[in-house]
Structure 1
Amino acid sequence: MSEQQPGPDLTPRPNRILAEPATPENCAADRRTTTEQQIAAGAARDQAAFTRINAAGG
């Protein structure tokens, strides 16, 4: 008989960015990790490229 492994913890966690009040200081400070910043930059480049493609009629 094998032991069952516990599943992943699916407990909701508060968003650390949304949990902060929207002050000018907090908005100016980028609270994302380096990986999150790279992912966001890549998504922005993709969005810009697809916008150019669609605008060109592609």
Structure 2
Amino acid sequence: MSDQPQPDLTPQPSRILAEPATVQACTADLHSPDEQHIAAGAARDQAAFTRINAAGG
């Protein structure tokens, strides 16, 4: 048997929920119009593939 440490499986608090919603934090989350367009396209793709998989395709 190896003596490797076991991973810590204790639930950890969400870093996102722990941070205060300040103007500076929100400004740091903003993306350029191109990045927003790419993210929206990726979300549409993910939703489409989810519907295809749910339909048994």
TM-score, scaled to structure 1: 0.53
Structure 1: distance between partners of 2:36 and 2:48:
18
Matched to 1:54, the amino acid is N
What RMSD in Å do the two structures reach over aligned CA positions?
Answer: 1.6
Residue aligned with 2:34, SS: helix
TM-score, scaled to structure 2: 0.54
Write 1 or 2 for the structure with the bigger share of helix.
Answer: 2
Listed one character per residue, the Cα deviations across residues 5-52 of structure 1 (whole Å, up to 9, x for unaligned) are: xxxxxxxxxxxxxxxxx431324x541000000000000000000000
Higher relative contact order (CA 8 A, sep 6+): 1
- 2:45 aligns with 46
Structure 1 stretches lacking a partner, 5+ long: 1-21
> Are 1:23 and 2:20 matched, yes or no?
yes
Residue aligned with 1:24, SS: coil
Matched to 1:42, the amino acid is G
Structure 2 stretches lacking a partner, 5+ long: 1-18
Q: How many residues align?
A: 36
Runs ≥4 in structure 1, deviation > 2 angstroms? none
